[in-house]
Amino acid sequence: MNKPVILAGYGVISSNAENEFYELIESFSVPVLLTWKSIGLLADDHKLYCGRPGTIGQTAANKITGMCDFILVLGVQMNLDQVAYNLSDFAKQAVKIVVDIDKAELNKFDDSWVKIHADIKEFLSALKIGGDYGQWVRDCKEMQKQNIFILEKG
């Protein structure tokens, strides 16, 4: 694993796991992507925050999901707009782990995903991971800086 990413959704908030989430991202120190529903978890200028993927997301965040080799999805309702209308192509090159308390949500995922049925807070409390991914974080932050938005006059 050289390019891990965390994608956090509203499940982190609804399970009151914000503190456990902050402990995880500080100890793991990898790029973090958020959904629109979890936007309040991190400030846009947080050192690990790298955007929101999806059809209405940001280019850098979509590139990051395409480049990562490991993704931990925490409490994300993977709607069609979240995965650019193609869940099977989402983070296609990555080992994919999804954690959710809702079995119906987990049923969306095929066998290429490791599906963990658990409360996010309990899962994060038990999780112990680490590594040095500083260069990967710097690369992702650079991609995020290069997001260019062009407004066309109509």
Q: Cα 56 to the chain's mean position, in Å?
A: 15
* pLDDT value, residue 83: 59
* CATH class assigned to 4-145: alpha beta
With H, G, I as helix, E, B as strand and everything else as coil, classify residue 62.
Answer: helix
State whether the Cα torsion 100-16-32-52 is positive or negative: positive
pLDDT tens digits for range 10-35? 999 999 999 999 999 998 889 999 99
* pLDDT value, residue 154: 44
* pLDDT value, residue 92: 87
pLDDT category, 145, cuts 50, 70, 90? confident
Query: Which range is least confidently modeled, 58-72, 105-119, 135-149?
Result: 135-149
Give the integer Cα–Cα distance in Å for 8 and 4: 13
Q: What is the mean pLDDT of residues 123-136?
A: 84
pLDDT at 149 over 80: no
Residue located via tokens 């990555």: 94
User: Mean pLDDT over all residues of the chain?
Assistant: 86
Q: What is the mean pLDDT of residues 95-119?
A: 92
According to the per-residue pLDDT averaged within each range, which of 46-50, 60-64, 109-113, 150-154 is highest?
46-50
Q: What is the mean pLDDT of residues 129-136?
A: 82
3 closest CA partner among 88, 93, 111, 84? 93
Q: What is the mean pLDDT of residues 131-142?
A: 86
This prediction's pTM: 0.84
Q: What's the first-to-final CA gap in the chain, in angstroms? A: 45
pLDDT category, 81, cuts 50, 70, 90? low
